[in-house]
Amino acid sequence: MPKYRFFLLDADNTIFDFDAAERQAWFKAMRSCGLPSDDGMYASYHNINASLWKELEKGNISKDALVIERHRRTLERYGIYADAARLNSVYMPFLSECALPLPGAVDFLRHLRETADERIRESGSGGIYIITNGVEKTQKKRLSDSEVKNYVDGMFISEAIGFPKPDRRYFDSVFASIDGFERPAAVVVGDSLSSDIKGGKNAGVDTVWFDLYRKGLPDDPPAIPDYTAVSYDGIFDLFSV
């Protein structure tokens, strides 16, 4: 196994607990707008949102359209007449306030920082970076409000770059922005086979699929990871070689 020096970590459901943040923000937004809400409606929103992000990865929808469409479809499904754009404008600030790392994420990053620093001293290059398809303003706020910022060297947001993961152009832009970057010494870690793992493989770097919920590979995965880990300890064990 290569001795990795460039660690490219997905944000949501790899470092940050996006599901918890999404749920909290959605219920707050619905209440703030005086709209009905329950667990069933939230489940519908969650599934619609997830499916639209898959469409973004395929280039079938823009991010500006996605953030409105997810609310519009949910409201339509329940026969609720409300302004989806206004709902999103209320929802996004609530989401940006939910900077909740997954349990164990901060400890993992603390230990990884020590490993990265040692290897940077030895070679002169390396680092820990967040790679995300999330909304730029939201992701920057969540990073700045969390302990995560103490352990990473930067964050690359697809909205700022102009291409989403898994687009090869996203990764090429990231690599070009990191001093001394070397593909053989880089690894992508993420929970999404279609975004993180497929993107990393297309870009010519090793990948670790973070299967936190132990779902296992589907029958026809969009990409096959080089490694799979079901815990932060499992990821760190791979990196400590």
- Please list the active-site residues: 10
What is the token pair recorded at 220? 């026809």
Sequence-ordered list of residues with C-beta below 8 angstroms from that of 57, at least 6 positions apart, any chain: 133, 164, 165, 166, 194, 195
